[in-house]
Amino acid sequence: MAVSNGTTVRVHYTGTLADGAEFDSSRGREPLEFTLGEGMLLPGFEEAVRDLDSGGSVAVTIPAGEAYGEYSEEMVMVVPLSRVPPNITLEAGQQLRLMNEHSELDATISEVTAEHIVLDANHPLAGKDLTFAIELVEVL
């Protein structure tokens, strides 16, 4: 019996990129529990689970445009060091939350030079097709 919106399920999954690199997995911890149709997960992930019976498994590839979007150069900003607060750790890979009176934006420092930092506000998985191996462990 396939599951439908409003059904709570528990799944194990492993997410990989096109080169086979693993970016996330529930293996080794409790299965992921969620309710179908609440929009908490990528639509392609939910759709793959919707087609499973309890105990079933599937591999699904979600194109970048249907996952975290295409990579956008417009989301990359060069910021002079003079505009960076002194309490910020200036290290590539450092995550920052940028805020103004209207919005918040997460960004990662991708480069640090003597004059500026480069901030990338793209999601880390933007521009990447994502493959998920999913096992429907339990229908609650």
Enclosing domain of residue 83: 73-120
Contact of 127 with 9, CB cutoff 8 Å: no
Q: Say whether pLDDT at 109 is over 80.
A: yes
Cα gap 116→82, rounded to integer Å: 8
CB within 8 A of 122, min separation 6: which ones?
Answer: 69, 71, 72, 75, 76
Query: Does residue 91 form part of some domain?
Result: yes
First-to-last alpha carbon distance for the chain, in angstroms, is 13
User: Nearest Cα to 15, choosing from 41, 50, 51, 54?
Assistant: 41
pLDDT digits (tens, 9 = 90+) for 3-37: 899 999 999 999 999 999 999 999 999 999 999 99
Whether residue 81 sits in one domain with residue 43: no
Q: What percent of the chain has pLDDT over 90?
A: 94
Query: Does residue 1 form part of some domain?
Result: no
Query: Does residue 130 form part of some domain?
Result: yes
Whether residue 95 sits in one domain with residue 116: yes
Whether residue 82 sits in one domain with residue 60: no
Q: Say whether pLDDT at 117 is over 80.
A: yes
More confident residue, 60 or 89: 60
Query: Does residue 43 form part of some domain?
Result: yes
Whether residue 131 sits in one domain with residue 104: no
